[in-house]
Structure 1
Amino acid sequence: MYGLGDLETAVMGVLWDSAEPAKVRDVLDRLRTPKQLAYTTVMTVLDNLHRKGWVRRELDGKAYRYEPEISREAAAARALREVLESSGNPEGVLLHFARSASDEESELLRKGLRAKGRRR
């Protein structure tokens, strides 16, 4: 995910796939990484994600339970927005993307734009 490191992205994936808020141990047990991670490493990553506004946490006994602050889709849209803003030519990027979009993606874009027009 744009703006996050590999481990932060993996931790967010676990939280997005979780049906309920998760403790550090839950996240550690569900993470699929090439190397074994320490509990404190995952705890630090979750604390950093909380500080950055990606997750919220609530104290449950002596441990926090973490859940995403935003959905996976909203995070992807935020990443796309950051890419567009940093490109130096957002119009060119959007036009290039539109030309490369599949028929299904084009229809989804049209649907989203129609819905945006109705909200105004």
Structure 2
Amino acid sequence: MTNRREGPRRRAQGELEGLVLEALGEADGPASAGWVQERLGGGLAYTTVITILTRLLAKGAVTRERSGRSFAWTPVADQAGLAAHRMRKVLDGESDREAVLASFVTSLEPEDERLLRELVLGTEPDTKGTD
């Protein structure tokens, strides 16, 4: 017998932000927090959605415009842009940027290292099999 409390699964850091951005990306235009809340389902509180949208606004991942008494939200960045923002934030917090970048690059899988090299050199990434 286990004494574990059953409850909602704890989400990974940034997971909700990614889900909110994904939902906004599916909207036909600017969307309300209520629309995002409905789209996500799962019993997420309206205040939680507002908090996530406000954090995304501070990160430059969304914009907002007045819509009646509320706001309509539009994505500016996608999940990849949000991940890049988090990576930059970590890097900005380190004093030895060269050591951090060197450690990061040497820890990459060979395919990721190749892709990064192509991106840095400005060459076309090898995308065989895609249009």
TM range (shorter): 0.5 to 0.7
Match of 2:107 in 1: 100
Aligned CA RMSD, in angstroms, stands at: 2.9
Using a 3 Å threshold, how does the CA distance of structure 1 residues 30 and 92 change in structure 2: closer, same or farther? same
Task: Give the distance between the partners of 1:115 and 1:57, measured in 2 at CA.
Answer: 34
Amino acid of the structure 1 residue aligned with 2:21: L
Instruction: Could you tell me which runs of 5 or more consecutive residues in structure 2 were left unpaired when the two chains were aligned.
Output: 1-12, 124-131
Using a 3 Å threshold, how does the CA distance of structure 1 residues 64 and 96 change in structure 2: closer, same or farther? same
Percent identity of paired positions between Structure 1 and Structure 2? 34
Match of 1:83 among 84, 90, 93: 90
TM-score (normalised: structure 1): 0.66
Match of 2:118 in 1: 111
Match of 1:24 in 2: 33
TM-score (normalised: structure 2): 0.62
| Residue 28 (structure 1) shift | 0.9
| Residue 77 (structure 1) shift | 1.9
Task: Give the distance between the partners of 1:48 and 1:109, measured in 2 at CA.
Answer: 28
- Residues 21-100 of structure 1: pairs in structure 2 closer than 5 A: 21-31=30-40, 36-47=43-54, 49-50=56-57, 52=58, 53-60=60-67, 63-100=70-107
**What is the number of equivalent residue pairs in this alignment?**
108
